[in-house]
Structure 1
């Protein structure tokens, strides 16, 4: 009867269209009071313990850095850099779109930010150059998902927080799968557009693009190099990314380079002119900070609630009992692994990635470990499954955002991503079967 009451409470709130945060909070309170024989005060304590973690700072830092770079000029300069070197290849602009998404993903950690930043530039360029609308939508929506597997990845940070797995190791483990998926997307883009006209290579143009984009390309090298060598932690990497982005957007990538101050202007006047004509200004920065804060207002309460539920489950021993039951009834580790992946694929179709990680990671990680799967490798497997969910209805965020951003029907978006979903399914199998793809940098 107690569990039926909890189910009735959750269903009733969903029928009343309450937010997921409120539904989970009420269910957590119910479990504390009626299942765990605890007190509501314990919930507040759990929230404090969940929020009192240094690694949590990395999430707002990476999110804010990504939003600053997407609203500034870094995304455009990355696209120019990639296209300068892919233009002689058949389908070079399409390949540049994939590579640009991968490069931008490596400096912001978000799928949606990556897709919007690169898509706002590449989608009109692709369609104007004769590429089909379906391919342009599918390529950008799919390549945008590279933002959650190529480090720094906010979902990888969430997985590390919920399972106490080293986040620096998770970042390193995401490099191989991310580069492999990028190569598979780029190869497909080349193949289907191999009859598109090519552009001659321009050494002068490539040099200008390199000068313009070198600072943007250097950022992921600095971050991952610092993490790999132990110079700084993932949280410090987020601070480095934000500080780097602000310096580059405010003082380097400025329109003042092409709009010089009027003749005779003094030093103070030149500084005022620079501040008025740069790509990023304080007013736009305030807007970016506000947008990031709104996203965090949804994410952080969910994280605290999920951590509280995880604490209750850990004290009750439910995950251990579930693992023992499954192992006692299923002999084959591969059957268990297939079941885990099917569950995650379904979860990715009906839940957002953050919620799925917060709910399933603490439950499934012990099960995966019981059949010999490295917890770091399992983190990559989990994120890879949920990454496909970004492209599957009904809650595929990239589908919804692509529909709104590119002004096409939902059906068109779904059809456009189907070849890329097939590629991702093959990629997922490779990642599962060959752990070295994920773990080679950790050996």
Structure 2
């Protein structure tokens, strides 16, 4: 007899193995077909299980620790972690335990540990949701937590971890009227103008999707474009444009937009959203460094970065990465800033931003750029926009956003942004 839910659980286990053991990102796995063999319901269940396990992995490990004398192989450990997540969310013990015992037993290298898996998960079932609630807040892996504490302090990092554990609500950017959009979808208008939904079903089933009245975009990610103010008629380059939320904002604001990204697959999504929303932009598939058309009034550079500001939506990131590639990213950001400045007309503006929590990818980059370019100035007046707390403005003239901000509203992504004005010599 086929066990209900086994396929979804096996796939969730496979996702964890690929992320934790192989260092692959969830988006990469899903994009390459890891869920393709499942039906819609099982696809959603598998991804949800894996995401919840990653979000609570540190707490799950603490819960398992009293029942394991020696850490088992990762194949077994990941089955136990998934079991903890399900049992502590109130799932029936019989089905959960049997499923993960079978997953362990199917692997020749770990089949001898099916008895351990059964015994440990039975004990976890006895503790259940009450035992889960007693455990401490999950901590960020040490390789990332240490630099975050050095940058923001322990209290702030605890707030960030609270936001990461809670996950992210759905934020939408309205093409025209955020108040009307909030009424239509049952959301709330945030202080900066984004519309937030705490509970939602299938995104494409929400009112206004088919008619292109909005697009999904975290509230923090929607702010860089707003720093440019009225863009009507301006020639604006969106460099590293995918997934395209900022391109849509600029087009909706009346700018003449050119969107550049090197990924044909991701640019196809941008083009699909432009078509859905009825907005116009020129799209170019090109490496940012090879794009040399100049004379823009403004360049928006959302530079490739560590993406550490997006962990509440992508909890796989601190387990798939270890920080070893960050040095190369930081060097790339520096050269991208220098290249982007060559594409501006005199007096033009560069909006530099990254979805990172690391100062080396934000505040330090702008400090260094101001030193390299004597005629460059940070435009502090651009930061005076609705909903921005003056406390978020940094010494060098940027805007620092963190997940622990707006705790009563559901937080936001970590982001850094600054408007740099390229004055003539």
**TM-score of the superposition, structure 1-length normalised?**
0.28
Higher relative contact order (CA 8 A, sep 6+): 1
Higher strand share: 2
Higher helix share: 1
